Structure 1
């Protein structure tokens, strides 16, 4: 987390949390969802405005975390901006390493990295939902493999790097892996 964010949290400790204004899609793209967008339809059917500013995306990436409920948020100064997830809290890129190349989190010739640029550590298991989407449980949490990286991921699965994929119903994933797809304010 950025030092400026930590300082703002100390200076203004009681800023209310924000819900519904930020979302993460299956490609790892961030979307702003203003009030008219939220009123017009749910995410991801109506995504909102794609965030394209590189420095803003980098700021979000550095300040992206989960609370004790498994609800993911962006710490924007003193305010937590809870976000909606299309599929999972992390969107994973998979790439084959060249012979002799090493990389962060590399396992048997493959590197896995989160949409935030974060090294996700070791892959603990892999999962397939009923739509055929591939998820990896990593040291950093659960992530869906980006569609553009499925060729490399399929090679890793075929080579047994991550073990045999297990089947899981998409609707069961948040409870099983401890995350919240659509956070709402905590009761009480």
Structure 2
């Protein structure tokens, strides 16, 4: 996280959170969703400014509830996820996120729609005082494989002729064989600990104060 952002957080600690305005689509594209886009379920306008995109990606972290957000100075801007908090590309036998971080898969999954979900380590991890369960260099992150790379992925797999219930095939990567496990798309956030559509958390209920004993 940028030092200037940390300073702003310390100086203005109680800025209200922002929801619904920023989204990450299935191809790793950041999108701004104005009120019209939010009201009509539209994906929003893609961000094209390289410096702004880089700023978002340097300050992109996760809270203790699994909700991902962009720390915009003192304000948390929570991110609507089209599928997963990361999208990865496969190029010349190596993975990297769409924000150009190296990605090392540790497990592999495919859902009922043919989406490939990889779970692994991201170079550099995610810094920040509120990175929650995903903070640290060795944390595992769920990532969606970019749909343009499905053919390259498939060519590195041995697929079973019939689904056997425990795995669909084997993905050969970097001298290792990763079983391709079936998973339902709706199950992905719960299993891997993230929230696709962050919403404000209810304030903790306080116990009613008992009257003093006489």
Normalising by the smaller structure, the TM-score range is 0.7 to 0.9
Indicate if the aligned counterparts of 1:62 and 1:116 stay in contact, CA closer than 8 A.
Answer: no
Give the Cα separation in 2 of the matches to 1:185 and 1:116: 27
Q: How many residues align?
A: 170
Match of 1:138 in 2: 120
Q: 1:157, CA displacement in angstroms?
A: 3.1
Give the Cα separation in 2 of the matches to 1:113 and 1:14: 35
The superposition leaves residues 140-185 of structure 1 with CA deviations (integer Å, 9 ceiling, x where unpaired) of: 4000000112232223334522512100000111110000000001
| 1:160 is aligned to 2:167 | no
Q: Give the unaligned 5+ runs of structure 2.
A: 123-140, 159-170, 204-214
Match of 2:66 in 1: 70
| 1:51 is aligned to 2:51 | no
Give the Cα separation in 1 of the matches to 2:153 and 2:54: 25
- Alignment RMSD (CA, Å): 1.3
Give the Cα separation in 1 of the matches to 2:91 and 2:156: 9
Match of 2:13 in 1: 13
Query: Which residues of 2 match residues 82-97 of structure 1 at below 5 A?
Result: 82-96=78-92
| TM-score (structure 1 length as normaliser) | 0.86
Extract structure 1 runs of 4+ deviating beyond 6 A: none
Give the Cα separation in 2 of the matches to 1:154 and 1:80: 38
Of structures 1 and 2, the larger Rg is shown by: 2
Q: Give the unaligned 5+ runs of structure 1.
A: 97-109
Q: 1:117, CA displacement in angstroms?
A: 1.6
Indicate if the aligned counterparts of 1:123 and 1:138 stay in contact, CA closer than 8 A.
Answer: yes
1:175 to 175, 190, 198: 190
Please identify which structure carries the higher strand content.
2
Indicate if the aligned counterparts of 1:157 and 1:164 stay in contact, CA closer than 8 A.
Answer: no
Indicate if the aligned counterparts of 1:157 and 1:163 stay in contact, CA closer than 8 A.
Answer: no
Match of 1:128 in 2: 110
